[in-house]
């Protein structure tokens, strides 16, 4: 038993079955061939040899092998369905977080369906071999063909993987932009556009003087408040932007703080941090930046 399988079973023994079938590991190829299929045939039919049940060995063995082939075919249809969904999502991809998340989720389901199909494929072929050894007759499934589909990769899954690889390259390319990053965060209810624009104009001049390069704006891409105002400023000034959108689905309430950590851990060192207001996420960005020796400018909201 491999370490991954052993760990899963140890967890079940300690805490009970807390995972769904989709979370549990699929047995290794050796286990599928030997511990599952070959031992099953041996245990089921060895006691029937040279008994009054001997003539039942062939139809029962054929039925068992055919059943596994039918399950293999069902798994292959499920993989095709996920692949078709991926193809549609890829064609509908518009850069939005929702579609990207749907692609990632469907990709994960397709990967799991492929692993299951491949496992059943190996079990089906092993069952066919066991039938032939047990009966001396060639095995043909009751329905469909026996052709192995191992290592088969549908065009849609390949297309999805290519899309994801391209997407990741595009994300990485953002950090190759010439300039020095400025990380920004602030209140969602901030509405004074002029104050933020004037401040960012001054910081931009300071960056040019200090780093001999223009700045790159890092932010969380919030559609309200400081992020939205700063994004509009960057578009107006032709300043490059890199967005770190919180993954709420993956990290829940901690997603905003995870996005802050990503800003601070990019390959390109930050030239500074500016926060407008006093939200927890903004203050967290300033504190973590200063802990790394990065200067943080803290700007209080103007009193009305």
| pLDDT tens column, 130-152 | 988 888 888 887 766 665 544 44
The SS3 call for residue 292 is coil
Cα–Cα–Cα angle for 167, 181, 178, rounded to 5 degrees:
70
Q: What is the pLDDT of residues 29-57, one digit of tens each?
A: 899 999 999 999 999 898 898 899 989 99
The SS3 call for residue 3 is helix
The answer to whether residue 153 scores a pLDDT higher than 50 is no
Q: What is the pLDDT of residues 198-232, one digit of tens each?
A: 999 999 999 999 999 899 999 998 888 999 999 99
Average pLDDT over residues 165-171: 65
Give the number of C-alpha atoms closer than 13 A to the C-alpha of residue 107, restricted to the C-beta side.
16
Instruction: Say how far apart CA 249 and CA 253 lie, in whole Å.
Output: 9
pLDDT at 144: 62
Domains of the chain: 3-173 (no CATH), 177-299 (3.40.50.450)
Residues in a beta bridge with 299: 276
| CB of 204 closer than 8 Å to CB of 215 | yes
Q: What are the φ/ψ torsions at residue 94 (nearest 5 degrees)?
A: -125, 10
The answer to whether residue 170 scores a pLDDT higher than 70 is no
pTM: 0.49
Instruction: Say how far apart CA 215 and CA 288 lie, in whole Å.
Output: 20
The SS3 call for residue 24 is coil
Q: What is the pLDDT of residues 249-275, one digit of tens each?
A: 777 888 899 999 999 998 889 999 999
């Amino acid at each position: 038993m491999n370490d991954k399988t052993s760990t899963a079973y140890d967890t079940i023994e300690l805490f009970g079955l807390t995972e769904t079938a989709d979370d549990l590991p699929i047995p290794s190829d050796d286990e599928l061939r030997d511990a599952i299929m070959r031992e099953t045939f041996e245990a089921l039919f060895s006691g029937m040899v040279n008994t009054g049940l001997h003539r039942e060995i062939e139809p029962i063995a054929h039925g068992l092998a055919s059943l596994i082939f039918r399950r293999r075919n069902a798994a292959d249809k499920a993989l095709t369905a996920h692949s078709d969904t991926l193809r549609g999502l890829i064609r509908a991809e518009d850069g939005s977080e929702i579609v990207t998340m749907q692609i990632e989720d469907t990709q994960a389901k397709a990967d799991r369906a492929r692993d299951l199909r491949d496992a059943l494929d190996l079990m089906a072929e092993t069952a066919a071999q066991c039938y032939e050894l047990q009966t001396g007759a060639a095995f043909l499934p009751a329905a469909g063909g026996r052709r192995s589909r191992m290592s088969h990769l549908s065009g849609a899954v390949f297309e999805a993987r290519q899309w994801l690889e391209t997407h990741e390259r595009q994300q990485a390319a953002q950090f190759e932009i010439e300039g020095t990053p400025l990380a920004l965060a602030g209140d969602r209810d901030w509405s004074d556009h002029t104050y933020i624009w004037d401040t960012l104009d001054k910081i931009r001049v300071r960056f040019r003087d200090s780093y001999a390069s223009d700045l790159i704006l890092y932010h969380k891409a919030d559609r309200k408040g400081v992020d939205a105002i700063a994004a509009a400023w960057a578009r107006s000034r032709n300043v490059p932007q890199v967005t770190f959108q919180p993954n709420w689905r993956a990290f829940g309430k901690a997603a905003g703080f995870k996005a802050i950590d990503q800003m601070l851990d990019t390959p390109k060192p930050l030239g500074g941090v500016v926060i407008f207001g006093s939200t927890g996420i903004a203050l967290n960005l300033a504190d973590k930046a200063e802990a790394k020796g990065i200067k943080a400018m803290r700007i209080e909201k103007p009193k009305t």
